Structure 1
């Protein structure tokens, strides 16, 4: 039993670790932007932060729209692998099946690029429209003016950002994600350099201030997309299958990706909205409560990247195992992913409980005793909450491996909005637990979501009928 778990964990980690490190590197990318904004002043930080919230909300939903591409690629690649394994030396009868599998993968890539293009254009337009509407939402006029300029610089970057995600899903689905980490790490340094150049107008370039940070971010997304594309074209296994000819995209494949992707995008948007609303609730208890909530939420967000990597890796592997007809292996993947997550969350939880001031130091001023006290109590809840947060994200990924994206969306609506939010309100306001009550409500909502998602996966897998494996 233990030997099997260790073997499965190593196999899962081979795909999950590069994805986790890539996610953490992306967090460092946005953190760099925030630090640079802070150097400009309070108004610039407020305006830039608001612009990034709008951009990230639309980017996150666009990424969700493309997430199922990796599963479709993984299943098609597994069928290709099965065909090649079944072929005998010199046998030509399998040539047609191999060509069909190649064509299927190329068709998925083309369709994903069409989807990324349409989502990027629509998102950019929507971003600018939201910028125009900010003044009607009670925001400060000076902040809105700077936010609009920032959004104008960020909007063009959404297109290459989603192109990058489409190619990323292709490489992950083919289980060759190694270049992702190298490119993302390089993008951090490039982003910091461009931020500084556009911010201060060095090397004869105009001094763009806050807008320059937006220009730098859009430029980095374009460069990252080109770097990942060129890396894939140099890979002997990936190059023949990487077809970006949108004119040859199949309508039926595109619609299938839309049908799978829309519920994922809605799930991501719902989760982001849920956490944003709890931030507004925390703000109602004063600046110290909001500062504590923000600090702990950022910690949760960083650790959450481990869950994202494990979820995506488990999801891809479930798609592959089912395409190979190995239902028992797909069932075992759930336990492997949860065990890996539990090991990491246990170590993090120990740090939260034993060294709270050290953990909170980068986010809270040591002179803010009230905020530090609130955050320390929140860390006690978070030490338990993160187990369920990780489990619910893995649950969504496992269901995605079964091509079941609608169940995940429905269950997260129940967990977040029907259970979590009312519980947060009841504990925070009716029982007067303030910010602590909000986080206890978050814990309840995430626990409900995790249990329902994992139960749904077990039920779906029990009735799953895979394709027969040819002899």
Structure 2
């Protein structure tokens, strides 16, 4: 009985692995920034956290929207329709470029909000110049997402992974040189980290574009494009798929961003601790994201073949695999809850010893809660991918809003600001929101998949 699910594990992991590594690459840029900036002090780490909180919201919209490109390109590729595939790529690239520029301008316009959010003034002053440069990187980041989703649609999933790897190497080198002032360069602190992020994202776009332009399968798609010759039909199709997906990601990223802001109200040390725990949790989340894409692809295939029993079995197999992996991550967080946060800070820095010790202590407690929501978080994102494969986007968007903003955020707000739970209260709210999301999304999938099987039998 169990074998019918476990036999799918190997294929699911092979399908998801390049996506996992690519997503981990994005997160690794933040990990490197946090570790290197953490050596400067807790105020600098909190400033990067505050600046990136604005970026996370903008990125969620850009990344979520770009996912509309993949199924359209994949569908055209399966039908050997080059013209439709190129049209989907071109229109998707146009919309993502436009969205990237718009998000950049919105982040700049939102900067004054930092002074109205009851954040430590020291942290705000450090975050302002950092955000200026990182905001610009939104443009190449969203353009890269368009190229990535197109590449995934052609089943060329390794190339975005290569581009992300190169970008990480560039980011590490520039960070080391500019943050700490090596090889004769000035010591720029967190501004150096911002420059590293910006340059690495530009390199990422150029590298992937060159790769795709030199491969036989993709060359004709990415060259000779009439960029501003557009058709309303394709624009509307991408918008109808991309907008709900962007909202789903926005609602989830939004509650994690609210955790950054709430922790900032508690002080710079709680905010730095929150950033450490959040960064560690996001690394493991990328594994679930890869499995979510595998669920979306495999469910879409089975839906097209009208094999609904296999559709349900394969999805349950991916959910089981996700559960097992997330249990392993949870155990790692529990066992190493004190040693993992210590990676981010210099424990030998006697000047900041009290602050660093407090940050590590708070982060260690947050990782215990993170261990619990690993399972909920992994399951909800995989089921969400399966529902996208079924092209069910409206109800899941409503579910994510209810789970995170009707359930999760009020709990985080009340427990953190009106009880002694403080930082832990924020993460208890996150746990509640993710758990409700996982349960409701699974109920939705369970209903739809059984209904499809029932109709198949009746037919």
Indicate the TM-score class for this superposition, using the shorter chain for normalisation. 0.7 to 0.9
Q: How does 1:405-444 map to 2 (within 5 A)?
A: 405-425=393-413, 432-444=420-432
Partners of 1:281 and 1:130 in 2: how far apart? 17
Q: Is the 8 Å Cα contact of residues 74 and 320 (structure 1) preserved in structure 2? A: no
How far residue 390 of structure 1 moved from its aligned partner, in angstroms, is: 0.7
Residue 458 of structure 1: aligned partner: 446
| Number of positions where the alignment pairs a residue of Structure 1 with one of Structure 2 | 446
The one of 322, 325, 330 aligned to 1:341: 322
Residue 94 of structure 2: aligned partner: 114
How far residue 221 of structure 1 moved from its aligned partner, in angstroms, is: 1.5
> Structure 1's 207 and 386: CA in aligned 2 closer, same or farther, altered over 3 A?
closer
Q: How does 1:82-121 map to 2 (within 5 A)?
A: 98=80, 101-121=81-101
How far residue 268 of structure 1 moved from its aligned partner, in angstroms, is: 2.0
Residue 263 of structure 1: aligned partner: 244
Residue 300 of structure 2: aligned partner: 319
For residues 79-133 of structure 1, give each alpha carbon's deviation from its aligned partner in whole angstroms, at most 9, with x where no partner exists: x2xxxxxxxxxxxxxxxxx4xx222211111111011111011112112222355
Q: Is the 8 Å Cα contact of residues 134 and 144 (structure 1) preserved in structure 2? A: yes
Structure 1 residue runs without a partner (length 5+) = 81-97
Residue 390 of structure 1: aligned partner: 378
Residue 350 of structure 2: aligned partner: none
1:158 aligns with 2:146: no
Q: Is the 8 Å Cα contact of residues 399 and 437 (structure 2) preserved in structure 1? A: yes
Partners of 2:220 and 2:97 in 1: how far apart? 22
Relative to structure 2, which stretch is displaced further, 448-457 or 285-294? 285-294
Q: Is the 8 Å Cα contact of residues 157 and 221 (structure 1) preserved in structure 2? A: yes
For residues 298-329 of structure 1, give each alpha carbon's deviation from its aligned partner in whole angstroms, at most 9, with x where no partner exists: 32222111111111221122223323433333
Q: How does 1:194-209 map to 2 (within 5 A)?
A: 194-197=174-177
The one of 305, 309, 328 aligned to 2:309: 328
Three-state SS of the structure 1 residue aligned to 2:155 is: coil
Partners of 1:138 and 1:282 in 2: how far apart? 10
> Structure 1's 381 and 128: CA in aligned 2 closer, same or farther, altered over 3 A?
closer
RMSD: 3.4
Residue 75 of structure 1: aligned partner: 75
How far residue 435 of structure 1 moved from its aligned partner, in angstroms, is: 4.1
Relative to structure 2, which stretch is displaced further, 413-422 or 426-435? 426-435
Q: How does 1:35-434 map to 2 (within 5 A)?
A: 35-38=35-38, 45=45, 47-78=47-78, 80=79, 98=80, 101-132=81-112, 134-135=114-115, 147-197=127-177, 210-242=190-222, 244-282=225-263, 290=271, 292-363=273-344, 375-425=363-413, 432-434=420-422
How far residue 425 of structure 1 moved from its aligned partner, in angstroms, is: 4.8
For residues 189-213 of structure 1, give each alpha carbon's deviation from its aligned partner in whole angstroms, at most 9, with x where no partner exists: 1122233455578889888665454
Residue 93 of structure 1: aligned partner: none
How far residue 410 of structure 1 moved from its aligned partner, in angstroms, is: 0.7
Q: Is the 8 Å Cα contact of residues 57 and 272 (structure 1) preserved in structure 2? A: yes
How far residue 170 of structure 1 moved from its aligned partner, in angstroms, is: 1.3
Three-state SS of the structure 2 residue aligned to 1:238 is: helix
Structure with bigger gyration radius: 1
How far residue 436 of structure 1 moved from its aligned partner, in angstroms, is: 3.9
Q: Is the 8 Å Cα contact of residues 119 and 264 (structure 2) preserved in structure 1? A: no
Q: Is the 8 Å Cα contact of residues 70 and 316 (structure 1) preserved in structure 2? A: no
> Structure 1's 22 and 287: CA in aligned 2 closer, same or farther, altered over 3 A?
same
TM-score by length of 1: 0.82
How far residue 163 of structure 1 moved from its aligned partner, in angstroms, is: 1.4
TM-score by length of 2: 0.84
Partners of 1:417 and 1:31 in 2: how far apart? 27
Partners of 1:278 and 1:137 in 2: how far apart? 13
Relative to structure 2, which stretch is displaced further, 398-407 or 421-430? 421-430
Q: Is the 8 Å Cα contact of residues 337 and 365 (structure 2) preserved in structure 1? A: no
Q: Is the 8 Å Cα contact of residues 143 and 205 (structure 2) preserved in structure 1? A: yes
